[in-house]
Chain A
């Protein structure tokens, strides 16, 4: 185990980095990193702590992005309320999807979540009166009780409490008796069932919590970009979240955060350099990671620390 003082030191250092971030990077990139970190942590709550790989989490990220965008545009809600509403919409969608998906394990779970996410994608694509189809939601307001947040720099700091709150929520869940049961289910589902834990219900609860967290990220993403396009629901978005988790380190909470920073930064750098085939690079890095670097960045560091 990592000693307690080191945990607190890490949390403090992370907070300092988070506060400094938009000064060192473009604020837009900083906002993106924060959103993707939430998304990746949500995916890792299932993949790393419950042993379920969702390959359809874009459904929750995207549904929240649309719901948040619509709430902000049509009702003029201040953005934290709009984001919360978006995350709740994601949870609402996660109830039936999760109920069906947790009936399957392993690779089947991945395919089932993927298929449901694609269904949501088709619906959003066709439901033009609400989603504006290919055009997407334009000019999503970024408003907080009259405060002017058009500047990304200030928006980042306004959004940070939501990000920290989301991350804390997952951290609390993982380090609670609930989280221990999830890990037990991951390691040996048959034994967990034999011990009397309703395995399906625990998995569903983890699924809902994960959808909520992904939804927080998706909602902030919509406000941050002031624009929602169909991309937020595409399966490549789900895949990107999984890439971030694997690169950062499955089954760690810092890993997805580090991974989100790395992947977002890399993509930003590539597109800045005028390189259009981003998939070629992220795909290749990902393949290499799966082949020879399965612990990921943070996983490697903690493994190394523990061996000493």
Chain B
């Protein structure tokens, strides 16, 4: 029982990263119909940025937690204005390809400067201990990550469902033409929303720095898993992406807990679940069927 709770906790932490990344992807896709392949590379930049801030600038984890998402959000907005916007009227596949090219560039740029070895990054002093809850003790830093992720997801939900900006974004996501016809200036929100989604990926990266190996390829395989997560949840659905992220994290951890022989299953599980969902509900668990493009 104790063990089960421990694994559940680890699964939720792993799921938190998937949820944060899937959330950013979903927000960007909703507004721009862009599937951002570079999301994994941005996550990597977040983690690397934290490392560089610490070693070369001397800024602590807490600063990185504020600075990196902000810097990357600005980078994302510039990216949207300079390149993504140029492809707005074309097949979404071109944006997918563009961000794939960007991924190659970002990965190799970081690789050429810092090599492929993992760079060490320690959690801040105050979070380095464990949280003792009677029978179980959880590493304080992981508890912090879990709370941060939940807070961000709830915050985004609040933004989308309770504020004017959220209303516009939701309207533009669901019915872009109709929103425009009703006099909502959809175009005004495209750039900030793109930046926001990129910032979320950056945040996930900073949070990952102390517990995942910081290296140029850390986002490369993760992004594919996140893609599978959003296919499961339904790419158009923000709630679905977050829910699927946590669910997949949990199931992965539980399967891993079964023993060493199950390691492979825990890795391919997300893809097996995706195959099952495709058979049963091709639009994803919470997605709406879109007109064939």
Contacts and interface: CB of A to CB of B under 8 A. Distances in A.
A283 B231 contact: no
B101 A290 contact: yes
A282 interface: yes
A110 B91 CA distance: 13
Interface stretch (B118-126, B184-192, B275-283): B275-283
Nearest to A56: B224
B231 A115 contact: yes
B291 to A, nearest CB: 9
Looking at B221, B224, B225, the one whose CB has the most chain A CB atoms below 10 A away is: B224
Contacts of A116: 271, 275
Nearest to B279: A100
A119 B282 contact: no
A110 B95 CA distance: 12
Interface size class of A (residues with CB under 8 A): 35 or more
Interface in B98-115: 98, 100-105, 107-109, 111-112
B35 A246 contact: no
A239 interface: yes
B272 to A, nearest CB: 7
Given A100-B278, A110-B96, A277 B224 contact: no
Given A103-B282, A246-B97, A280-B112, A290 B87 contact: yes
A15 interface: no
Interface stretch (B12-20, B62-70, B150-158, B260-268): B260-268
Interface string A192-215: 000000000000000000000000
Interface string A272-303: 00001111101110110011001000000000
A37 interface: no
A287 B83 contact: yes
Interface in A99-141: 100, 103-108, 110-112, 114-116, 118-119, 122-123, 126
Nearest to B227: A111
B98 A291 contact: yes
Contacts of A108: 231, 235
Interface residues of B, number: 46
B108 A280 contact: yes
A112 B109 contact: no
A279 B292 contact: no
A190 interface: yes
Interface in B49-103: 83, 86-87, 90-94, 96-98, 100-103
Given A100-B279, A283-B108, A118 B102 contact: no
B89 to A, nearest CB: 12
A146 to B, nearest CB: 40
Interface of B: 35, 83, 86-87, 90-94, 96-98, 100-105, 107-109, 111-112, 220-221, 224-225, 227-228, 230-231, 235, 263-264, 267-268, 270-272, 274-275, 278-279, 282, 292-293
Return the 9 tightest CB-CB contacts between A and B, nearest first: A283-B104, A279-B108, A106-B293, A119-B271, A287-B101, A279-B104, A286-B101, A283-B105, A280-B108
